[in-house]
Every structure is written in structure tokens, then in C-alpha cells.
């Protein structure tokens, strides 16, 4: 039973239960602030390729976050948003729908705050991601039909869980004007480079929050840089952006986790995106393998998707005789995909042949042309 409020000697309305809740929220916010202060910024790696003279490539290594992906920033923002809006209480279960990386980051923050966490995930999620969530104390509620993850998360919320709702709240939970968001970090790290304003920034679209943050920030700072969203072929966002239809759905599935949504999510902002590049899954996977060779570390499939888009943009710049720089994101650790994207037997089971795209990507780096895969004659 709730304690009755009373008046103390200073005529302040006192409610012991509300005061205890406020103290817990203040403690939780302090822990999040301390964690942020302990976290260093992620590295911006630079590469140059023989075929693209005068064009610098930068890769923002978001996999170096404590939880191994760019979703570390989002998870912190979602917890802050829930706390400051009065939606999250001491001891309350936290739930979200996620294909893995966001769930891992959310499980990490939930453990830090001493809260139970449930990740609603497609049953097809990479086993490494499921293990990472469980290792952090989270529970994985696996759903056979990926289209039902939102409904299942809503069921948990109806039973009292706090739904962080990355797909519905990502674009508003992140402070796009600054506060060390990813766009501010990129522009700050480029300040001393030869080309401090990149021609393009390339990212994927999962929740839509990252593209919304970058696009808004570029406009807010009045920068000439343009935003390209790199997406698996036939994704919901591809069709939605072309037609400006928020009801658009995907025309084909994808093996690239975290992006290539089956529908246009609420956080997608069509008008801050300057270009969308469609990338076949086999090209994304070949590019992820190539990135390991170039950088000495594995990254996930969405990083490969971004890399292919970067090469297409650079080839167009070269044709026009333009110089400048392109920035992309390395989204998450490739070790999580050891049993999927980096397993030849898994690729064979899905009919993925990366050899033609590997050859095309290497030719692009050498010649500065758009990567185009050709299959040998039968």
C-alpha cells in the first residue's frame, strides 16, 4: 500500500515512496553518467587505395565500444530516456526487440543497473549474439517469425516490463545536436584532417536512429557533407525512401543482421538522407571478409554493406574528377558471426558465393571503378 503524503516543517509535500523512487532514479542516472565518463571515444581509422587517388576513406570503429557495437551509444540513450521520462523503476524488468547487437548493449546496461532484461530476438539470430546476451545475465525470447518480435515485446510490456523500444524511440532518445553523438564525434575527429568535411558519411538503417542523428547534425552544423544509407537489396527502407511511403515493406529477405528491415520503422527520416545504395548480401559478406584483411580484425556484415557503398560513391567521385573523403561505420565485432557469415559451410547452405564479389572489390580498389561482380561462363 502506498505511503500517505505528509507535510514536514518546511511545508514540503513528503511521500516516502516517491522520494525512494527518485533517489533510485538519481543513482541510476549517476551510474550511466559515470559509465559515459569512463568510456573513450572510438577510433577513426584511415585507409587509402591505389585506384582512388585523392579520396580518403575513414572507418569509425564502433566495434571498440565495451559491448562491441555502435548500439552501445543507443542503449545508453534509451535507458536515459526511459529514466528521465519516468518509465523505468527499481527492480522493473526491461525488454526490447532486437536481432542482437542492441540487445547485447541493453543487457550490459541492465546488469549495471541491477535490472532483469529480456531480449526478444528472431530464432535465426547468430548464436554468438544469443550467447553474449545470456552471458550478461539477459534472457532471450526467441521468435520463429521475425515479423512478430515487436508484438512479443509488447506482450512483455503489457505484463509490466519497461519496453525500451529501440525501433520506436531511437531517433528521439538520441540528442542529435551534440552530447557526443556519433555525428559530432566524426566531425570532431576530422577537424585536423586535410578534408575536415567529408563528401559522404555512410551508414546502414536498422532503427533509423543513426541515420536520423547524422542527417540532422549535418544540417544543424550547416555542413556540405551528404548522407548515404547503405542497405541490403530490396529492404523496406530502400522502397520507402524511393517512394516516400512509410508503409513500404521489403521485397526480399536478407542475411545481414541489424539492417535491411522488413518494413519502414518509425525512426526513419526520409528527407535527411541524400542517397540510398542497395547492396546484395553476397557483396556485403565478401566485403566483410576483405575488411578483415585490410584492417586485421573482423567486423559484421553491415560493415561490409557500408564498405561496398563507399566504393560506389568513390567511383562516382573519381568519374567527376572530385577529391575529398568518405566516412563509414564499422558497426560490430565480426567474432559474433563466426558460425554464420564467416563459416564457409553456412554460406554454402544459403547458396552464397563470395568469390565473384571478392574479385570485383579487389579490382575496384586497384582501378577506382565501381565494383561489379561477373560470374564465369557456364
Condensed to tens digits (0 to 9), the pLDDT of residues 239-273 reads: 999 999 999 999 999 999 989 989 999 889 999 99
The answer to whether residue 221 scores a pLDDT higher than 80 is yes
Determine the pLDDT at residue 10: 55
pLDDT band, very low/low/confident/very high, at 378 (cuts 50, 70, 90): very low
Helix (H) or strand (E) holding 149: helix 149-158
Determine the pLDDT at residue 310: 98
Q: What is the pLDDT of residues 104-142, one digit of tens each?
A: 999 999 999 999 999 999 998 889 899 999 999 999 999
Q: What is the pLDDT of residues 33-82, one digit of tens each?
A: 999 888 888 999 999 999 999 999 999 999 999 999 989 999 999 999 99
Return phi, psi of residue 228, to 5°.
Answer: -115, 130
Q: What is the pLDDT of residues 161-220, one digit of tens each?
A: 999 999 999 888 888 886 668 999 999 999 999 999 999 999 999 889 999 999 999 999
Strand, coil or helix: 273: coil
Determine the pLDDT at residue 377: 39
- Helix pair 209-220, 182-189: axis angle to 10 deg: 50
Q: What is the pLDDT of residues 328-373, one digit of tens each?
A: 999 999 999 999 999 999 999 999 999 999 999 999 999 999 999 8
Determine the pLDDT at residue 19: 85
Q: Which three cell numbers stand for residue 68?
A: 562491441
Determine the pLDDT at residue 11: 55
CB contact at 8 A, 174 and 163: no
Q: What's the residue count for the chain?
A: 378
Helices (H), 159-278: 166-173, 182-189, 209-220, 236-243
CB contact at 8 A, 276 and 313: no
Determine the pLDDT at residue 317: 98
Determine the pLDDT at residue 39: 83
Q: Which three cell numbers stand for residue 310?
A: 563507399
Determine the pLDDT at residue 282: 97
The answer to whether residue 2 scores a pLDDT higher than 70 is no
Mean pLDDT, residues 2-18: 63
Helices (H), the chain: 16-38, 71-84, 101-113, 127-135, 149-158, 166-173, 182-189, 209-220, 236-243, 281-295, 301-319, 344-349, 355-367
What global pTM score does this model have? 0.89
Mean pLDDT, residues 85-92: 96
Nearest CA to 239 among 201, 268, 202? 268
Amino acid at each position: 500500500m502506498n505511503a500517505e503524503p505528509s507535510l514536514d516543517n518546511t511545508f514540503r509535500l513528503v511521500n516516502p515512496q516517491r522520494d525512494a523512487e527518485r533517489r533510485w532514479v538519481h543513482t541510476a542516472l549517476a551510474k550511466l553518467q559515470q559509465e559515459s565518463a569512463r568510456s573513450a571515444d572510438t577510433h577513426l581509422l584511415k585507409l587509402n587505395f591505389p585506384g582512388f587517388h585523392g579520396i580518403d576513406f575513414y572507418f569509425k570503429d564502433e566495434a571498440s565500444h565495451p559491448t562491441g557495437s555502435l548500439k552501445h551509444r543507443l542503449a545508453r540513450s534509451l535507458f536515459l530516456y526511459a529514466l528521465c521520462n519516468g518509465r523505468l523503476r527499481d527492480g522493473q524488468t526491461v525488454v526490447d526487440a532486437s536481432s542482437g547487437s542492441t540487445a547485447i548493449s541493453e543487457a550490459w546496461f541492465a546488469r549495471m543497473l541491477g535490472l532483469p532484461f529480456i531480449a526478444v530476438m528472431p530464432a535465426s539470430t547468430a548464436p554468438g549474439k544469443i550467447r553474449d546476451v545470456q552471458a550478461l545475465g539477459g534472457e532471450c525470447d526467441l521468435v520463429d517469425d521475425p515479423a512478430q518480435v515487436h508484438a512479443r515485446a509488447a506482450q512483455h510490456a503489457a505484463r509490466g516490463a519497461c519496453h525500451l523500444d529501440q525501433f520506436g524511440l531511437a531517433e528521439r532518445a538520441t540528442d542529435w545536436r551534440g552530447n557526443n553523438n556519433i555525428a559530432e564525434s566524426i566531425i570532431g575527429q576530422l577537424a585536423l584532417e586535410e578534408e575536415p568535411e567529408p563528401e559522404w558519411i555512410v551508414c546502414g538503417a536498422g532503427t533509423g536512429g543513426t541515420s536520423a542523428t547524422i542527417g540532422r547534425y549535418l544540417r544543424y552544423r550547416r555542413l556540405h557533407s551528404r548522407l548515404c544509407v547503405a542497405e541490403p537489396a530490396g529492404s523496406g527502407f530502400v522502397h520507402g525512401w524511393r517512394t516516400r511511403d512509410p508503409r513500404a515493406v521489403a521485397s526480399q529477405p536478407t542475411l545481414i543482421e541489424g539492417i535491411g528491415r522488413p518494413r519502414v520503422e518509425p525512426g526513419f527520416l526520409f528527407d535527411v538522407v541524400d542517397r540510398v545504395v542497395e547492396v546484395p548480401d553476397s557483396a556485403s559478406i565478401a566485403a566483410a571478409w576483405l575488411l578483415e584483411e585490410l584492417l586485421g580484425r573482423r567486423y559484421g556484415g553491415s560493415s561490409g554493406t557500408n564498405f561496398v557503398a563507399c566504393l560506389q560513391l568513390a567511383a562516382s567521385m573519381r568519374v567527376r574528377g572530385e577529391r575529398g573523403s568518405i566516412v563509414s561505420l564499422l558497426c560490430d565485432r565480426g567474432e559474433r558471426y563466426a558460425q554464420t557469415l564467416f563459416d564457409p559451410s553456412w554460406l554454402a547452405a544459403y547458396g552464397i558465393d563470395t568469390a565473384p564479389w571478392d574479385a570485383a572489390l579487389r579490382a575496384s580498389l586497384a582501378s577506382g571503378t565501381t565494383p561489379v561482380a561477373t560470374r564465369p561462363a557456364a
